[in-house]
Amino acid sequence: MVTKIFSALLVMTAVSLAQPAKLRVGIYAPSVGFGTAQARLTYAQSLAKAIESATGIKTEAQSYASIAALKADNTDFAVIDGPCYAVNLGWKLLANANIGGAVARTWALYSSAGDSMQALKGKKLAYVATGCNDAGFVDNAMLESEVDAQFFGARVGEKDLTGAIADVSSYKTAQAVFAPVGEPRGLTKLFETGAVPNPAFVALGKLPAALTDKVAAAVTGVTSTAIAGWTKPSREPFTALAARLNRITKQGVLAPPEPVRIDAREVLVDPSTLKEPAFVPVRHHYVRPPGDRME
């Protein structure tokens, strides 16, 4: 009996040690149009409330201004912007954000300086500065390595999507911006640049699998005007973007020449169209002089 009680106490102690006394959930999703910093924090607090209700563990929420600050704060769970998770694939993916009914959005280049790419030469480009290989995202993922790095006169990195769009549409401090299709208003869409995955919900630390499963289930139903909910985890959109962050080297494709086959017998047969070169057709052998007299 004593042995059973002692074993039970050991199990209870192990479980209590495995369960943290407090959880911290953060959000860094500058490409999602929450509109204001307060709206972003409010959404993180909604996630924290759902997690605390499901796990029974006190959960705090925090909105971060950079991916570096989130990493340094010993965050347990976080909403991470798509491009940032694409360069941090070691974190455990728990769910994909659903925005507009999909886990990825099509992005495009928008302009206030005309309806052609050439009109933007030497102009300023605004973009969301995530700190997650921004140069690779702009030059390779968005422009497919086809535009010279000096094409734009300057680049303006903003802390979120709202600010980047405002640079072009309101403040006029830039003339072009990369943004999800449909987000900018009053700007000309030059061309679509491909799909970019929505934010990922990840576990950053080493926590019990049973706990992370509860957390993943808890956040599924948390919605907002910016994020409609969460779906089962899929790494494919993020690995696809990670591959596009690298420079693309394009080469022309040369078709192999069709082999020429010669029949050796053809060079031994005289073509029927050739005539004897020494043959001269003779039409008259004699000339009859006038007067019918032969000479």
Beta strands across the sheet bearing 124-128: 154-158, 124-128, 176-180, 104-111, 188-197
Q: How many helices (H) and strands (E) does the chain have?
A: 8, 11
Cα separation, 219 vs 230, in Å, equals 7
Statement: residue 81 has pLDDT above 80: yes
Reduced to 3 states (helix: H, G, I; strand: E, B; else coil), residue 81 is: coil
> 105-194: CATH homologous superfamily?
Periplasmic binding protein-like II (3.40.190.10)
Residue 77: CA count within 13 A, CB half-sphere: 29
Mean pLDDT of the chain: 88
Cα separation, 150 vs 135, in Å, equals 12
Do domains 2-103+198-244 and 105-194 share one topology? The answer is: yes
pLDDT at site 13: 41
Domain boundaries, the chain: 2-103+198-244, 105-194
258: burial class by Cβ within 10 Å (0-12, 13-18, 19+)?
exposed
With contact defined as beta carbons under 8 Å apart, do 203 and 91 qualify? yes
With contact defined as beta carbons under 8 Å apart, do 225 and 40 qualify? no
Q: Which amino acid is at 70?
A: L
pLDDT at site 260: 65
Mean pLDDT of 188-198: 97
- Thinking of the domain 2-103+198-244, which architecture would CATH place it in? 3-Layer(aba) Sandwich (3.40)
Cα separation, 231 vs 25, in Å, equals 18
Radius of gyration in angstroms for the set of CA atoms belonging to the chain, rounded to a whole number: 36
Mean pLDDT of 251-276: 64
Q: What is the pLDDT of residues 39-69, one digit of tens each?
A: 999 999 999 999 999 999 999 999 999 999 9
Statement: residue 157 has pLDDT above 80: yes
pLDDT at site 14: 41
Mean pLDDT of 67-90: 97
